[in-house]
């Protein structure tokens, strides 16, 4: 009777460990998908930021022909030009901020994935131990 009870307990523990393994594998897979999508977004933002910096450089380096702009037109143009440069600068800054946020998310998800991977490895070790114990109990 003791052997059957112990065997039943071991098999119950094995079922629990198998559910834990399936859950960990599911979590790891979900995190891998998130990380992959975020890495793609980060890469695309890096490309966009590079392009924006090139455009910003062109805007910042624009030379104004003083012979074409005089008086009110010159003041109006300079105000609009300055406003446009500031808008582009803010847009670049916000885009860089969005990329930084994505990169931080990637690091956090990678840490979560590492924790789940460690947990999965521990569960697999526990499963191996339970299977050995079950085999021993069945022999008795």
**Choice among 55-64, 65-74, 76-85, 94-103 with the minimum mean pLDDT:** 65-74
The mean pLDDT value of the chain amounts to: 91
* Cα radius of gyration rounded to whole Å, the chain: 30
Q: Which pLDDT score, from 0 to 100, does residue 1 have?
A: 42
pTM of the model: 0.79
Q: Which pLDDT score, from 0 to 100, does residue 114 have?
A: 98
Whole-angstrom Cα distance, residue 31 to residue 37? 10
* Choice between 72 and 14, residue whose per-residue pLDDT is larger: 14
| Overall number of domains in the chain | 1
State pLDDT tens for residues 130-139: 999 999 988 8
State pLDDT tens for residues 1-49: 456 779 899 999 999 999 999 999 999 999 999 999 999 999 999 999 9
**What is the domain extent for residue 31?**
2-139
Q: Which residues contact 25 (CB under 8 A, 6 or more apart)?
A: 120
For 99, other C-beta atoms within 10 Å of its C-beta total 18
């Amino acid at each position: 009777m003791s052997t059957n009870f112990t065997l039943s307990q071991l098999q119950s523990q094995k079922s629990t460990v198998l559910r834990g393994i399936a859950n960990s594998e599911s979590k790891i897979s979900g995190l891998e998908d998130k990380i992959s999508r975020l890495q793609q977004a980060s890469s695309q933002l890096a490309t966009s930021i590079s392009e924006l910096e090139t455009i910003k450089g062109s805007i910042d380096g624009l030379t104004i022909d003083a012979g074409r702009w005089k008086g009110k037109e010159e003041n109006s143009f300079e105000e609009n030009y300055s406003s446009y440069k500031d808008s582009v600068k803010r847009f670049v800054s916000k885009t860089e901020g969005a990329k930084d946020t994505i990169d931080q998310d990637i690091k956090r998800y990678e840490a979560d994935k590492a924790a789940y991977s460690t947990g999965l490895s521990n569960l697999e070790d526990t499963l191996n131990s339970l299977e050995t114990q079950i085999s021993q109990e069945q022999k008795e």
